Structure formats: C-alpha cells, structure tokens
Amino acid sequence: MTQQVDVVVGGGQAGLAAGFHLRRAGVDFVVLDAQHRPGGAWRHMWDSLHLFSPAAYSSLPGRPMPVQPGRPYPEAAHVVDYLAEYEQRYGIPVQRPVRVRAVRREDGFLRVEGDTGTWRARAVISATGTWWRPFVPAVPGQDLFTGRQLHTVDYRTPKEFAGPGIHPAAAWGNVIVVGGGNSGAQIAADLAGVDGVELTWVTRRPPRYLPDDIDGRALFDAATARRRALEAGRPDTGGVASLGDIVAVPPVRAARDAGRLVHRAMFDRLTAHGVAWADGTTAAADAVIWCTGFRPALAHLAPLGLRGARGHIATDGTRAIAEPRLHLLGYGDWTGPASATLIGVGRPAREAVRQMSDLLR
C-alpha cells in the first residue's frame, strides 16, 4: 500500500535535524532509515574516535549535547546516545530498518520506493550521508597485493593489526595508512607506537596541522564567516580549508609531538607484498588502510536523472535546482557551509524546511 506523506530519507543527525524543523512546521512526514538502530554513521566509527569539538559545539537544534563526564571531546558512543535520545524527545517518526531503493517522479509527486513499502511525497529531503560510499583511488597493483586492503569504514582497533607480519621472522605487522586528512592522521596516531605494529603513513602532500589551539569551535566560526561573506557578496574567505587539514586532537598531537607520526610521500604502486615508490624504494605491507574519503550516498536518487560533476547534484543551498521538491541535506559544504557537522546542519535543515513549507503552501 502506498502512503501519502512527505519523506526524509536517512535518520542520522541530518535527518533528525530536518525532523525537528518539520515537526515545528506542522508537516506530516516520516523519516526512513536503513539502520536497525539510531545513530547513523556514529555507530560504526572506530573505538578510539573522539569528536573534534566539545559537546556544547556538537549540538543539533533545540537540545544541547550533554557533556560526557571526564571527556572534553565526547566519544562516538556518546553521540549515538545523544541522537537516540533526541529522536525520542522530539517524537521524530523514524521507521527503521527501511532502505530506500529509488525516488522517482509520478503524477506530480515523488514516489519513494523502499524495501518495506512505497510512499507518495509532495517533497523529499535526502539526508543519507557519505559513510556508506567509501572512496578508494585507483592505484596500479591493487589487484596484485596479497595483504588486506581496508577503508576507514572498516577500521576499529589497532589490536587486530599487531604482528607477526608477512616475514616469518618479524614479530610485527606492517601497516600502511594512506591519507593526510583527519581520518588518516587519527588512525595513524592510533596505530603509531603500538607493540607489534610497524606503521608507514603516506600522504599526497605534507600533512597540514591546524594550530593546536584550534578545534571544531574555530572551524565552525570559520565556516560561519565564510557563509556570511558569500551571502553578503564579499570574496570567499576559504572557510575551514584555508586553516589546514588536520585538527590536532589530543591523541594526534601526542603522537606527532613524540615523533611517531612521520609521513612519507604517496607510493606509486602496490606489489604482491607491499608498496613501491618511483625511486625504487619499497615497504612491506600486511595491510593498507585507505583513509581516502567518501562520496555522497545518492544511488536512490538516480531515477531522477540529476547527477552532475563529481557525483554531486546541482543545488541552490539545499534545493536541487532541477527538482525543487527535493532537498539534499548534510553531505558537505556543497549543501551548506559546515552542513556535514553536528552543529552546522541545523541551519540548512531549517532553511530546507522553510523552503519546503513555502512550496507545499
């Protein structure tokens, strides 16, 4: 049976922020989420991950994130608890697990096809995140390599990498971490100095650490300054990217200051048992962890035929330019400055719901 109701696809932080504003606007809606339980991507992050902002700077609209006792920077599990509580507190109607397979146009509506039913929506907010579409660059030799290749999404704990490695005499496991962003630096720091792990950290360009006193608060301020500049027609301030790539969260700072975070240039190819650089040097590897980013998870929107450059959909703010009944929320700066952060998603969520309500009227 097809239900007639407006739809948010994805029940992570972006979907909940949209839900908060939809409730306030009095819209009849449902949130469809593929997970069995609340928390979105936070439920899947590695054991030692901490937010790069204090709780007060990691809050969705309406409800400040409580401080986690003893932790200036909350753990991922704390975010999961916060999102679960948020959903209940505001009575956000999330149905799970429901995976949306397709959104298509039908008789002036958007037909949302999920694995448990179909919905007929006047408007849809897509908030499916990026975690579900890990990106690994094409590098020669990937098919020759006999060790493990993982992505950030597969990493949990350094314990599983501790030796012995491929050389029978070696008591350690050789691990290569690829990537000079926050995930690469944090996972390299997690592995550096662990007994039984020999770490090689490779980055395309030398790592750019943000000044130590800069955390998510300053990043959010930079994103806000950028938004204001763009709105006022002033030159682009560059936002967060102008400050650096890596937030020096305490574990990263400690590993860096102890000299354990040494980087090498990106290798040219993988071999059967490791990696090789153009100058002929090689490194053995039992595992290569690709911390090389994500792409937006937009496969369910394919029937709308909206995809443009780099897999993005052209938007004006959050609204799809070629389909005004569709909003995209939370994927990255292209859907609003800092919209892929806890504190940053509230504003574009409010604006998406305002535009949606105008359209529905």
Q: Which of 9-17, 192-200, 276-284, 319-327 is the region at the interface with ligand FAD (rule: CB under 6 A)?
A: 9-17
Report which of 204, 136, 145 is spatially closest to residue 174, judged by C-alpha positions: 145
H or E segment and range at residue 272? none
Q: Does the protein bind ligand FAD through residue 132 (CB under 6 A)?
A: yes
Restricting to residues 26-65, name those near ligand FAD by CB under 6 A: 32-35, 40-42, 45, 51-53, 58
Contact 38, 94 (CB under 8 A): yes
Residue type, 227: R
Applying CB under 6 A, the span of 13-21, 227-235, 251-259, 263-271 interacting with ligand FAD comes to 13-21
Is residue 179 a contact point for ligand FAD (CB under 6 A)?
A: no
Tell me if 121 contacts ligand FAD by CB under 6 A.
no
| Residue 328 interacting with ligand FAD (CB under 6 A) | no
Question: From the list 129, 173, 184, 348, which residue makes contact with ligand FAD (rule: CB under 6 A)?
Answer: 129
Q: Locate 84 and state its tokens.
A: 């679960």
Which of 330, 336, 346, 348 forms a contact with ligand FAD (CB under 6 A)? Answer: 330
Name the residue with the smallest CB distance to ligand FAD.
12
Query: From the CB of 126, what's the least distance to ligand FAD, in Å?
Result: 9
DSSP annotation of 50: B
- Tell me the helix, strand and coil percentages in the chain, rounded to 5: 30, 25, 45
240 to 269, contacts with ligand FAD by CB under 6 A?
Answer: none
The total number of residues written for the chain in this structure: 361
215 binds ligand FAD (CB under 6 A): no
Judged by CB under 6 A, the residue of 124, 340, 352, 353 near ligand FAD is: 340
**CA-CA distance, 122 to 110, in Å (whole number)?**
6
Strands 197-203 and 173-178: parallel
User: Residue 6 pairs with which residues in a beta bridge?
Assistant: 29
Residue 193 C-beta-side C-alpha neighbours within 13 Å = 13
By CB under 6 A, tell whether 9 contacts ligand FAD. Answer: yes
Shorter beta-carbon distance to ligand FAD: residue 65 or 284: 65
- Got the DSSP string for 149-190? EEEGGG---GGGG-S--SSTT-SSEEEEEE-SSHHHHHHHHH
User: Should residue 336 be labelled a site residue for ligand FAD when binding is judged by CB under 6 A?
Assistant: no
Binding residues (CB under 6 A) for ligand FAD: these are 9-15, 32-35, 40-42, 45, 51-53, 58, 99-100, 127-129, 131-132, 183, 216, 297, 300, 330, 340-342
